[in-house]
Amino acid sequence: MKEKFVFQVLLKTSVKVLETKIATPAGLGEWFCDDVNEREGYYYFTWDSFDEKAVLLAHKPFQFIRFKWYEDEENGFDTYFEIATELDPLTSNVVLSITDFSEPEDMENSRMMWDQQIIKLRRLIGS
C-alpha cells in the first residue's frame, strides 16, 4: 500500500514564473525529468530512455497541477502527485508544496528524488 507524503519548500520567485515550470510540458522537462510530451490526453514523462505515462487529473492555474501515473490507475491505487504553489503573505516568496505517494520501503528514495528535482528547479529559476 502506497503512503502519502508532503513537503514544502520556500522559493524566491513569483507564482507566474513557477506556473510555466510546473504546468507546461516544456517547463516540466527543464527540471522534473528529461522530457515531457502530451499526446491524446496523456502526458509522457521521460527519464533517460524510460517513459512513464500519466493522466492530468486537475489544474488550477497559479495554484496547483495534479497528475496520476497511468500504472497506478490501472492497478486501482488512489494516488497522485501534485505540485502546488501558494504566496507567503509575509515574505512574498512562494511556498512550493509537493504531494506524492510511495511504497514505505521506497519512501526515502522518493523524497531524495524530489529533493534533487527541487535543486534543479531552484537553479533554473535562480532561487
Predicted local distance difference test score (pLDDT) of residue 89:
85
Q: Which CATH homologous superfamily contains domain 3-122?
A: START domain (3.30.530.20)
The tens digit of pLDDT for each residue in 24-33 reads 999 999 999 9
Domain range annotation of the chain: 3-122
H or E segment to which residue 64 belongs: strand 64-69
Using an 8 Å Cβ cutoff, are 5 and 101 in contact? Answer: yes
Determine the pLDDT at residue 51. 93
Q: Where are the alpha helices (DSSP H) in 1-127?
A: 15-22, 25-31, 70-74, 107-125
Q: In this predicted structure, what is the pLDDT of residue 105?
A: 97
What is the distance between the alpha carbons of residues 78 and 80, in angstroms, rounded to a whole number?
Answer: 7
Cα separation of 119 and 103, whole Å? 23
Residue with cell 522537462: 29
Mean pLDDT of 68-73: 92
Asked if the model's pLDDT at residue 74 lies above 90, the reply is no
d(C-alpha 115, C-alpha 94), whole Å: 17
Query: pLDDT tens digits, residue range 39-67?
Result: 998 999 999 989 999 999 999 999 999 99
